[in-house]
Structure 1
Amino acid sequence: MPSLLDRIRNVRVNNTLPDQGCRHKDQIQDVSPSADGCEDCLKTGDPWVHLRMCLTCGYVGCCDNSPNRHATKHFQGTEHPLITSFEPGEDWIWCYVDNALIFPE
């Protein structure tokens, strides 16, 4: 199976900002996940709904439907713009800065 970096070369971008696309997809790094679950929820024993992985550093955090919203908090604290779903069978990337949903092909 091709790596995320290989698949991102040909992407389809859907965004909520007209005529903008994603200006950050060239910042995707070949990262390893920091944990098997939300890194911060695992420390506190809190539950999560879905997991997201930062494509700059590999941080794994919980989604915005989770009580703590750690993936978004990670973006707010680091300005790392891109996350991917860390859920089996899901293959998409979200750019926080450009409000762009990216589908690797």
Structure 2
Amino acid sequence: MTSDTGIDPSVPPSGTGCVECDADGGWWFHLRRCATCGHIGCCDSSPAKHATAHFAATGHPVVRSFEPGEEWFWDYATSEMYESGPDLAPPVSHPAEQPAPGPAGRVPADWAQTLR
């Protein structure tokens, strides 16, 4: 990763779920954490793709997986994946008991058919 990625390791995540999905009652497949501001958004396999929308709106290029056991980063600006990167402020993932897809109670029964 280059030094101009804007990563701020001191910023905590914005919550345990996708900010926009939580606000509008939506659901997600997997979660991504902005490494600049901590915004939690849903991945591109999710119906709303809020993590990519956050990059488009803010220009914050790097996200880290917010899934338990995953440490990889993605740089939207360069379309590069990194197996690891700097340690970010905790927590490093959503709670392990939070299901994927999630959140519990908002995922439709036919969720698999709606994903690409």
Task: With the length of structure 1 as denominator, give the TM-score of the two structures.
Answer: 0.75
- Give the alignment partner of residue 32 of structure 1, picking from 12, 36, 39: 12
RMSD of aligned residue pairs (Cα, Å): 1.5
Distance in 2 of aligned mates of 1:80 and 1:26: 8
Q: Which runs of 4+ in 1 moved over 6 A?
A: none
User: Tell me, what secondary structure is at the counterpart of 2:17?
Assistant: coil
1:67 aligns with 2:47: yes
* Residues paired across the two proteins, number: 84
Runs (5+) with no aligned partner, structure 2: 86-116
How far 1:103 moved relative to its partner? Answer: 1.4
SS state at 1:74 partner: helix
Larger strand share, 1 or 2: 1
Q: Which runs of 5+ in 1 are unaligned?
A: 1-21
**Higher RCO (CA-CA < 8 Å; seq separation 6+):** 1
Flag the 1:25–1:50 CA change in 2: closer, same or farther, 3 A. Answer: farther
- The structural deviation recorded for 1:70 is 0.2
Q: CA offset at residue 66 of structure 1?
A: 0.4
Q: Considering fraction of residues, name the structure with more helix.
A: 1
Cross-structure match for 2:76: 96
